[in-house]
Structure 1
Amino acid sequence: MRPSRTALLNRYREITAALTRHGLGYLVMELGLGRYLPFNRGLLRHRPREAPYTRADHLRLALEDLGPTFVKLGQVLSTRPDLVPPDWSVEFAKLQERVPPVPWNQVWLKLARELGRPPEEIFAQIEPQPLAAASIGQVHRGVLYSGEVVVVKVQRPGVYRQVQLDLEVLRSLARMAQRRLAAYDPLGLVEEFARTILDELDYTKERRNLERYAQNLADTEGVRIPRVYPQASGREVLTLEYIEGVRVDDLAGVQGYGLDPAQLAGRMARLLFRSAFGWGFFHADPHPGNFRVTPQGELVLLDFGMVGHLSRPERGRLLELVLAVVDSDAVRAADRLAELGVPIAPGQATAFRHDLERLLYQYIELPIGQMPMGDILGRFLEIVRAYQLHLPAHLSILAKTIMMAEGVGVQLDPNFHLAPLVKPLFQRIFLERLQPKQVQGRLREGALDLLALLEEGPAGLRRLLDRVERGELELRIRSDQEFLQEMRGIANGLRLSALTIALILALAGLMMAYHPPGWERWAGWVFGVGLAGVLGLGGYLLLVSWRKERP
């Protein structure tokens, strides 16, 4: 249900008031008049402090004043280093823990309504004072009647209605900014943010994310995901196992447990890379508060409201991209970026590649053990912002995750370097991708794509010809015998390639499905002869291609 016009107008007034208050501070800073209007001394209800307020400070304070939706927007922007500069990202990250808690009587009513009975019938004990309060919900410690200690995550009352209202406001603002900021696609970014925050409002989705991640980690030692208690959970309440521990970047706490900080840093980095590049399913809220360490040295992952997904082809291209960066190969890195959907305008492509080459050239002579991947990524993202490129959200969040992993690693161990951990891990993932089961899966996907192309291609070609006949498209055909000969060669190559793929799939299908009497005696010969024929045809294709490419 869309918000009423009156509600929208009232919200616009609130937003205008907040931006005016903090926009004035920003304007004063830009004009160099900060000493005459010292906001750090308490002017306009700013919190008194010694250091002057910066532009990023004012933006963060404005987001805090505007409530849960805008706080979450700032948190999301803190994970998007392709959109905001580093000082903004650092400042917005402070929004994680600066939200006033909801009074206990409102929390009690929310629990009773969501769980269908009074909280006292489910929890033997629950603490009114929250352990933490965030923009969407807050967390209370409790005890079940079974004696298990839990944390209860409760959504803030009225937050869904407020989010719906604010999203309408953001959409209207994005439509107004679309023409001036077309390179960033403001409307697309708002819709992306809307999907993120609406998913996070549904705790049943977070529960499924937790269970999936725990399943992926079933055979991994030293990593722990909190257990979910379904009988005490719902759409707006999530009850989880309480796990004692300290933040992963708490060096004193880690050493107090008698743990090796360097070993912990390496384990966390390997887990993050394995989840993204191995499973294609990774934690998308990468700040140290969501990673904890138990006294036994287990790494605990918290808050799965935001997760990232990578398809198998995306993982392959990302693997090649990271290896290209590690190898300081700018040309290959730029090609992989284009394949990943980073829109580089034709007029900018050469300059972008040269800037990337200059960046990587500075590190080309460094041994892999000394290569600062976080620094390289940070400077790469500066180039992305300079060219106003729009990275897909999962790529930007993954970049932020890598920088966070290296930053935490250096805090735990000054000699920590991410690159030596990355290359052998990626090489192992590459080898895993060559396993027969994975190859068979990719062949099956390729066969389905080829079948879809064969089914849809004629209809698409017919629609194209219809447009030509109606004069909607103009075709210019150049009479060039060399060009036509080249096109014939490409067409022949495509036909032979399609035939090779069809033979491979047919051979595999026959081997799996057709078992006549006596098959076991001569199946090996049939497979060998068929495979030799297919390989011979593939070799012929390679030979023809090689001859055509020779000068």
Structure 2
Amino acid sequence: MKTAILLAIGCVTVSVTIAGFSAGARLLLGLRIGRIRAAVTGSVGLFATVLFSRTVHSGDRGALITVEIGAVLLLTMGFLAASEVVLPSGSWPSMLRLPRALRRRIARARRYSQLSAIAYRHGLGRLLRAKGRAPVTGPAGHHELARSLRRALEEGGATFVKLGQVLSTRHDLLAPGFTEELSNLQHQAAPALWEDVAEQLRQEFHRPLESVFARFDPVPLAAGSIAQVHRARLHSGQEVVVKVRRPGCRPVVERDLDILCSAARRLEERTAWGRAAGVDALARGFAESVLEELDFRVEARNTAAVTARHRDGKVLIPQVFPALSSEKVLVTEWLDGRPLSASGPGTEGRAADPTAVARTVLDSVLRQIMIGGTFHADPHPGNILLLRDGRLALLDFGSVGRIDGQLQARLRDLLVALRRADAAALCDALLALANQPEEIDQKELERTLGLFLARHFSSGTSFDRTAFNDLFRLVTAHRLTIPNSIAAAFRALATLEGTLTRIAPDFDLMSEAKQFAWTQVTESASPPKLAGRAADELLDLLLIGRRLPRRVDRITSAVEQGRLSVNVRLLGNRQDRGFLQTLVHEVILTALGATTGVMAVILLSTARGPRITSSVSLFEVIGYNLLVVSAILMVRVLFTIFHARRRQPPPPG
């Protein structure tokens, strides 16, 4: 019985000691920790107590018991601080996932090695070693490097082919030789095994295919790097198109995007041409776009958004079946026609006038850009159908662009300025549209734009692709940065130009676009539109006018009575207040720690003083305790500094 009581007392004492040291270390460091870390920390304190007790209590030095407790607490704090830095709180789940993460890292390293070998095999190592603005000079060097880049992207796989196709439309970033070479990129993917596709469909529908479709063609209509398309029929008799994501493609695409973004960050850090082109932001924007294409629910929402703003009977948008669509499957109505990729000069098929077809498609896309705000960002010939009744249809809204009303107005101003050949208006439109550097010579920019307009608009010349490229190079030379949404709109128009000139070689896209913008401006200046805007403005003025007399009366009364004051809130931002509070807190702790440390050294160096025991003086007891307090305060300050730096988010870009 006595043994059991002693054992219970011992267990309680050990538990209280562990909990006490753990709570003390946690409170002194200002941390919230889990039970496992708390138990381990308290156990370290208990072990340190046993070691210190054997040393400090030798002889008659028991008067230093408070120093012993403080030293043990200091050691416990040091252990907790070190464990938090090495293995932060909340990282245990990551440790449990370590084997799988390690396998992913090995696969990523293997893929990175493959891509590096492809790059160096095609002579692209000079891009990584280039310290200047460009790795090569001269037309011959650009042509050779562009060809090497295209071949490397083709060998790299679907993700890098899509990147090259996007870059082929960025005339503001790349020289014409690069954009022309990258426009030849093609990627024909082999269809996935029907058994794998059927199994994925059964998993998505949670039932057999026969209960969903009356007929399903296992041979795909088209196969891409991310998805393939099948034709099917519902039990209602409705003909539909089923778009299925390729099984197992998401991990591969995510891995390639991770490698691409990592390489872009390194290029921007190590090369001047990478910083000038902003390759990191370009890669991140491309990655976001591709990840959206992997989720067919995004495409369904995009289709619904464009359909809601698109009321044109000449260009159809296929209906989506939301009940049958998911992240990996998209079901839309079947439209009977053939893509414009099967048409060409003289083979326009059912269309009586190829120019009318081109103008209809352009009008639809421009309305999406300048009126709707959500537009098809990839209108290549395979995504435009020519139907049996002569109408057109837009397909595949996996890649869309979004542009707000303010940028829509700026884009219209830009096209109107081009139509009028007004250098001053064009300069104002560009400066309102683009992101400007800190210092820009507007006079020089306006003169350069005047020469540009004189070169490309004199003697009745048209605004062709060459002029378009010259405008982008001019923007780049003056360090103006086009917003991503506007770049997406220009990219869509550049893709559409190649599509439309395929069926109507003489079609002038830019002239039609300028005319469209001019029509929108003139319509907005019509009497009914002006009257509507004037009524809205008048209503706003009336609301302001109703409140104005009361506010004026309050101000004049305050002035008359001498009570007029201005309230200024210093440090109104919560982050600013938190930063100042932390700064003051750490400065005070540092001053206290330094002061107690100096006082401890002074007391310990004093030989005289009242004795507590034969070998310990009062000054020693106070000095050692102050030394422990100083050490605890310094550990707290150092931990706060390094822990805050560790948790600080990385700098943007």
TM-score of the superposition, structure 1-length normalised?
0.69
Give the SS at the match of 1:157: coil
Q: CA deviation at 1:431?
A: 4.5
Q: CA deviation at 1:96?
A: 5.5
User: Residues of 1 paired with 2:147 and 2:209: CA distance?
Assistant: 40
Give the SS at the match of 1:292: strand
From the CA coordinates, give the structure whose radius of gyration is larger: 2
Q: CA deviation at 1:144?
A: 1.9
Gaps of 5+ in 1: 31-52, 452-456, 471-551
Give the SS at the match of 1:153: strand
- Matched with 2:224 is 134
Letter in 2 for 1:139: V
- Matched with 2:118 is 21
Residue 330 (structure 2) aligned to one of 214, 238, 248: 238
2:342 counterpart of 1:224:
no
- Matched with 1:422 is 513
Alignment of 1:310-325 (within 5 A): 310-325=403-418
**1:110 touches 1:157 (CA, 8 Å); kept in 2?**
yes
Q: CA deviation at 1:105?
A: 1.3
- Matched with 1:488 is none
Give the SS at the match of 2:229: strand
Q: CA deviation at 1:361?
A: 1.1
Residue 176 (structure 1) aligned to one of 231, 251, 266: 266
Letter in 1 for 2:325: S
Q: Deviations over 1:195-221 (max 9, x none)?
A: 212222211111121122223233x22
Give the SS at the match of 2:436: coil
User: Residues of 2 paired with 1:138 and 1:160: CA distance?
Assistant: 14
Specify whether residues 79 and 414 from structure 1 end up closer, same or farther in structure 2 by C-alpha distance, changes over 3 A only: closer
Q: Deviations over 1:366-422 (max 9, x none)?
A: 44xx52343321221233455565322222222233334444444433443335533
**1:127 touches 1:142 (CA, 8 Å); kept in 2?**
yes
Gaps of 5+ in 2: 1-93, 128-142, 548-566, 581-653
2:503 counterpart of 1:412:
yes
User: Residues of 2 paired with 1:24 and 1:10: CA distance?
Assistant: 21
Letter in 1 for 2:301: R
Q: Deviations over 1:321-370 (max 9, x none)?
A: 11112222233223222222333462565555444332221133344xx5
Specify whether residues 69 and 403 from structure 1 end up closer, same or farther in structure 2 by C-alpha distance, changes over 3 A only: closer
RMSD: 3.6
Give the SS at the match of 2:456: coil
Residue 285 (structure 2) aligned to one of 192, 216, 219: 192
Q: CA deviation at 1:254?
A: 5.0
User: Residues of 2 paired with 1:437 and 1:89: CA distance?
Assistant: 45
- Matched with 2:31 is none
Letter in 2 for 1:224: L
User: Residues of 1 paired with 2:487 and 2:299: CA distance?
Assistant: 21
Residue 256 (structure 2) aligned to one of 159, 166, 180: 166
Q: CA deviation at 1:125?
A: 2.1
- Matched with 2:188 is 98
2:481 counterpart of 1:390:
yes
Residue 401 (structure 1) aligned to one of 485, 492, 500: 492
**1:132 touches 1:138 (CA, 8 Å); kept in 2?**
yes
**1:137 touches 1:155 (CA, 8 Å); kept in 2?**
yes
Q: CA deviation at 1:134?
A: 1.7
User: Residues of 2 paired with 1:443 and 1:81: CA distance?
Assistant: 44
Letter in 2 for 1:112: R
Range 354-363 or range 424-433, more displaced: 424-433
User: Residues of 2 paired with 1:82 and 1:441: CA distance?
Assistant: 39
User: Residues of 2 paired with 1:445 and 1:282: CA distance?
Assistant: 32
Q: CA deviation at 1:258?
A: 4.6
User: Residues of 2 paired with 1:298 and 1:6: CA distance?
Assistant: 52
User: Residues of 1 paired with 2:145 and 2:227: CA distance?
Assistant: 28
- Matched with 1:521 is none
Letter in 2 for 1:26: G
User: Residues of 2 paired with 1:229 and 1:316: CA distance?
Assistant: 35
- Matched with 2:386 is 293
User: Residues of 2 paired with 1:141 and 1:303: CA distance?
Assistant: 15
Specify whether residues 195 and 459 from structure 1 end up closer, same or farther in structure 2 by C-alpha distance, changes over 3 A only: farther
Letter in 2 for 1:227: Q
Give the SS at the match of 1:243: coil
Give the SS at the match of 1:130: coil
Specify whether residues 108 and 183 from structure 1 end up closer, same or farther in structure 2 by C-alpha distance, changes over 3 A only: same
User: Residues of 1 paired with 2:542 and 2:492: CA distance?
Assistant: 34
**1:374 touches 1:407 (CA, 8 Å); kept in 2?**
no
2:101 counterpart of 1:4:
yes
Q: Deviations over 1:164-200 (max 9, x none)?
A: 3333323332332233322333332232223212222
Letter in 1 for 2:354: P
User: Residues of 1 paired with 2:482 and 2:511: CA distance?
Assistant: 26
**1:226 touches 1:242 (CA, 8 Å); kept in 2?**
yes
Specify whether residues 413 and 442 from structure 1 end up closer, same or farther in structure 2 by C-alpha distance, changes over 3 A only: farther
Residue 376 (structure 1) aligned to one of 467, 470, 486: 467
Specify whether residues 313 and 89 from structure 1 end up closer, same or farther in structure 2 by C-alpha distance, changes over 3 A only: same
Q: CA deviation at 1:98?
A: 2.0
User: Residues of 1 paired with 2:108 and 2:155: CA distance?
Assistant: 12
2:395 counterpart of 1:302:
yes
Percent identity, aligned pairs only, is 32
User: Residues of 2 paired with 1:440 and 1:199: CA distance?
Assistant: 41
User: Residues of 2 paired with 1:115 and 1:444: CA distance?
Assistant: 53
- Matched with 2:646 is none
User: Residues of 1 paired with 2:113 and 2:477: CA distance?
Assistant: 29
- Matched with 1:66 is 156
Q: CA deviation at 1:238?
A: 0.4
Give the SS at the match of 2:171: coil
TM-score of the superposition, structure 2-length normalised?
0.59
Letter in 2 for 1:127: D
**2:118 touches 2:155 (CA, 8 Å); kept in 1?**
no
- Matched with 2:75 is none
Alignment of 1:201-280 (within 5 A): 201-218=294-311, 220-248=312-340, 250-251=343-344, 255-280=348-373
Alignment of 1:481-500 (within 5 A): none
2:214 counterpart of 1:124:
yes
Q: Deviations over 1:62-103 (max 9, x none)?
A: 334433433333333334332334444455445564222221
Q: CA deviation at 1:284?
A: 0.9
**2:124 touches 2:149 (CA, 8 Å); kept in 1?**
no
User: Residues of 1 paired with 2:570 and 2:427: CA distance?
Assistant: 31
Q: CA deviation at 1:253?
A: 7.5
Give the SS at the match of 1:139: strand
Q: Deviations over 1:40-71 (max 9, x none)?
A: xxxxxxxxxxxxx9544443343344334333
Specify whether residues 85 and 300 from structure 1 end up closer, same or farther in structure 2 by C-alpha distance, changes over 3 A only: farther
Letter in 1 for 2:211: E
**1:97 touches 1:132 (CA, 8 Å); kept in 2?**
no
Give the SS at the match of 2:122: helix
User: Residues of 1 paired with 2:535 and 2:400: CA distance?
Assistant: 28
User: Residues of 2 paired with 1:441 and 1:5: CA distance?
Assistant: 61
Give the SS at the match of 1:169: helix
Give the SS at the match of 1:363: helix
Alignment of 1:471-490 (within 5 A): none
Residue 78 (structure 1) aligned to one of 162, 168, 185: 168
**1:130 touches 1:138 (CA, 8 Å); kept in 2?**
yes
User: Residues of 2 paired with 1:433 and 1:156: CA distance?
Assistant: 47
Letter in 1 for 2:198: W
